Homo-oligomer: A and B are copies of this chain.
């Protein structure tokens, strides 16, 4: 017969604790930065992970808010120390997600949002089986082109380079769990919030599957 102890044991055994590590990736002009900013503003369970980088701050960027701006020597040392959940070298600059900071937030029950590329996403999934991977796409190819051009990428070769990268990234889509179409910003943010809520309602199985 069911009693309080059995009930509580089942609750404890099958409920999730802590937050989720959420990766949001998109090919060029998918809108991951805008969507992530809106998500964090509207969903108080979500926080953005602040990455380390060796590139120089752009105008208006603040150390510790947009990035941790560090030197290449320190970055490489941290790679060796296993400091990063994932890292990448892009155009001779290093980018990496600090692990311990994210883990502390997760333990506090926060959902930690990483806006990183597909290679970063795959690295994260390898180290964190429990991570939730979301792929963001513009609603159509036409819209994608329009958004690329709106960003000031006008020259044919520059557009073509972005489209080649986008094709490679699109091939990684099956490594992801969720596909969100970024048609309206509101709808995309709502959908990602719903995904995170659902992920946190999943029954804790011994073996994680996606």
The chain A residues found within 8 Å of chain B, CB to CB, are 1-4, 6-8, 10-11, 14-15, 27, 135, 137, 140-142, 144, 160, 163-164, 166-167, 170, 173-174, 176-181, 190-191, 193-195, 197-199, 201-203, 205, 209-210
Contacts and interface: CB of A to CB of B under 8 A. Distances in A.
Contacts of A135: 203
What DSSP secondary structure best describes chain A's contact surface?
A: helix
A173 B1 CA distance: 16
Contact of A10 (B173, B190, B194, B205): B173
B194 A198 contact: yes
B201 A178 contact: yes
Contacts of A177: 202-203
Contacts of A193: 194
B163 A178 contact: no
Nearest to A27: B2
B180 A203 contact: no
